[in-house]
């Protein structure tokens, strides 16, 4: 199979339901992990009606009055959960033209004075008032629960596709009730309303697996192939786009590729693009450098066949792989959202922003 790619493979989840087609799915998954780093999952265990129910709320969420959005501003939250106005973040030195809400799966924070500060990072979401958006909270929580379940199941398939036992990557999670996974609901306004075509600049995701719902019918998402070309990932209704984050790349000795991606702003005269990425986390106390998974040599050899990666447009990603993953995640949040850090993590804020508050955060 060619190591470079010109399109993103489409995997059909229903192949898993029969022992005769399951191996085909796993072979396609192996190719997608090693050579592409992105795939579509068609016919996933989230029903079209469940996607549609969430998607219908999204324009209403962004249409809430500014005062109601600001009432749940991320700066209120030591968990970096809540609303971020348009243009709050930068990637690769330029402002990202998007507005977003960060939500997460339910998590009760049990941090106590004296525990590592990064254990404060996970906790409850901030929600718009129920009467402003009736049923939204329940709809999003039901959706996140489904995607969370799929994310655990999928990591078992990743393990199998890389010749490990199905539980071969489970060591990267704590017990489910101790975990939290994050999601964002994102709006990319059109070029009529923003000043550049950088919806989000080229970047890698940091965690394990990302499950992206493209929630409107717009092109714009692109991924960078091995020779450095940008390949379109157009929306396919009722599918997920799944991609690999830097933590899973490290955990698999680079077998599963994290792939650089970006989003272009919708054209003038178009309508806003919406998306819902779900980012699967790993246990907060785990240090990736100390969690080496052993792979059979035959599978490691497949890395050699995919060829050298051309220079990508992503800026360097600092791995910090000797630190607890929760601290790595907290540092990422501090750099992306310095206003939140200044309020809730003053020591880390001073460490990363000795000159004071910048106009924008920048994770990469």
Ligand X SMILES: O=C(O)CCC(=O)C(=O)O
196 neighbors 95 (Cβ within 8 angstroms): yes
Distance CA 195, CA 147 (A): 34
Task: Supply the minimum distance, in Å, between the C-beta of residue 333 and Fe ion.
Answer: 15
User: Of the two residues 117 and 319, which places its CB atom closer to ligand X in the complex?
Assistant: 319
Residue 169 contact, options Fe ion, ligand X, none, Cβ 5-8 Å cut-off depending on partner type = none
Cα dihedral 195, 54, 239, 188, rounded to 10, equals 0
Nearer to ligand X, 146 or 261 (CB): 261
The residue (of 105 and 214) whose beta carbon lies closer to ligand X is: 214
To Fe ion, the closest distance from the beta carbon of 230 in angstroms equals 14
The nearer residue to ligand X, 282 or 302, going by C-beta atoms, is 282
CA atoms within 13 A on the CB side of 95: 14
Q: How far is the CB of 205 from ligand X (least distance, A)?
A: 5
Q: Does 205 bind ligand X (CB under 6 A)?
A: yes
Count of residues binding ligand X (CB under 6 A)?
10
CA distance 7 to 36: 9
Answer yes or no whether residue 333 interacts with ligand X by CB under 6 A. no
DSSP 279-321: E----TT--GGG-PPP--HHHHHTTGGG-PPPPPSSPP----T
Alpha carbon distances (Å) from 24 to 211, 238, 240, 254: 21, 22, 19, 23
How near is the Cβ of 102 to ligand X at its closest, in Å? 10
Instruction: Say whether residue 201 binds ligand X (CB under 6 A).
Output: no
Binding track, positions 241-280, relative to ligand X; x by CB under 6 A: --------------------x-x-----------x-x---
7: DSSP letter: S
Minimum distance from residue 208 beta carbon to ligand X (Å):
13
Report which of 16, 248, 17 is spatially closest to residue 27, judged by C-alpha positions: 16
Distance between CA atoms of 95 and 194, rounded to whole angstroms?
10
Q: Does 95 bind ligand X (CB under 6 A)?
A: no
Tell me the closest approach of the beta carbon of residue 279 to ligand X, in angstroms: 7
- Measured between alpha carbons, how far is 113 from 261 in angstroms, rounded to an integer? 39
Q: How far apart are CA 364 and CA 362, in angstroms?
A: 6
- In this structure, the strands spanning 38-42 and 99-104 are unpaired
Closest separation in Å from C-beta 233 to ligand X: 8
Residue with tokens 């990743």: 158
CA–CA separation, 68 and 230 (whole Å): 38
Q: Which of 3, 11, 61, 186 binds ligand X (CB under 6 A)?
A: 186
The CA-based diameter of the chain, rounded to the nearest angstrom, is 61
The reply to whether 249 sits near Fe ion by the rule CB under 5 A is no
Q: For ligand X, which is the closer residue by CB, 26 or 241?
A: 241
By the rule CB under 5 A, 89 interacts with Fe ion: no
Rounded-to-integer distance, Cα 327 and Cα 12, Å: 36
Span of 101-109, 188-196, 203-211, 299-307 interacting with Fe ion by CB under 5 A = 203-211
**CB-based contacts of 54, cutoff 8 Å, min separation 6:** 139, 140, 143, 213, 215, 276
User: Which range of residues in 186-194, 198-206, 221-229, 327-335 is near Fe ion by CB under 5 A?
Assistant: 198-206
Asked if 185 touches ligand X (CB under 6 A), the answer is no
One residue of 41, 54, 72, 221 binding ligand X per CB under 6 A: 221
Q: Any contact of residue 194 with ligand X (CB under 6 A)?
A: no
Question: Which x/- pattern, by CB under 5 A, does the window 204-223 give for Fe ion?
Answer: -x------------------
In the bound complex, what is the minimum distance in angstroms from residue 100's beta carbon to ligand X? 8
Task: Name the minimum Å distance from CB 233 to Fe ion.
Answer: 11
User: Residues in the site for Fe ion, rule: CB under 5 A?
Assistant: 205
User: Residues in the site for ligand X, rule: CB under 6 A?
Assistant: 186, 200, 205, 212, 214, 221, 261, 263, 275, 277
């Amino acid at each position: 199979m060619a190591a470079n790619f010109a399109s993103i493979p489409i995997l059909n989840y229903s192949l898993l339901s029969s022992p005769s087609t399951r191996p085909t799915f796993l072979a396609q998954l192996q190719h997608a992990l090693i050579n592409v780093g992105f795939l579509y999952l068609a016919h996933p265990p989230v029903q079209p009606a469940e996607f549609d129910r969430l998607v219908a709320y999204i324009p209403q969420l962004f249409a809430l009055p500014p005062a109601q959005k600001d009432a749940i501003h991320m700066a209120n939250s030591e968990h970096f959960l809540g609303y971020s106005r348009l243009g709050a973040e930068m990637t690769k030195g330029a402002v990202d033209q998007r507005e977003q809400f960060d939500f997460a799966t339910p998590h009760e924070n049990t941090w106590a004075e004296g525990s590592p500060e990064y254990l404060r990072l996970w906790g409850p979401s901030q929600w718009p008032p129920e009467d402003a958006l009736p049923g939204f909270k329940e709809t999003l929580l039901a959706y996140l629960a489904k995607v969370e379940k799929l994310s655990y199941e999928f990591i078992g398939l990743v393990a199998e596709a890389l010749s490990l036992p199905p539980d071969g990557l489970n060591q990267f999670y704590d017990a489910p009730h101790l975990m939290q996974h994050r999601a964002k609901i994102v709006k990319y306004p059109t070029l009529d309303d923003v000043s550049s075509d950088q919806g989000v600049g080229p970047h890698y995701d940091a965690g394990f697996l990302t499950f992206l719902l493209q929630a409107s019918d717009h092109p714009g998402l692109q991924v960078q192939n091995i020779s450095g070309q940008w390949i379109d990932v157009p929306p396919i209704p009722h599918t997920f786009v799944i991609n690999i984050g830097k933590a899973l790349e490290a955990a698999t000795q680079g077998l599963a590729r994290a792939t650089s991606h970006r989003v272009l702003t919708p054209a003038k005269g178009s309508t806003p693009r919406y998306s819902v990425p779900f980012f699967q986390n790993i246990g907060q106390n785990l240090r990736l450098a100390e969690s080496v998974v052993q792979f059979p040599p035959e599978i490691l050899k497949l890395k050699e066949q995919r060829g050298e990666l051309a220079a990508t447009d992503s800026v360097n990603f600092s791995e910090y792989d000797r630190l607890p993953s929760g601290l790595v995640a907290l540092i990422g949040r501090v750099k992306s959202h310095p206003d939140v850090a200044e309020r809730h993590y003053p020591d880390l804020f001073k460490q990363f922003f000795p000159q004071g508050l910048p106009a924008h955060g920048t994770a990469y």
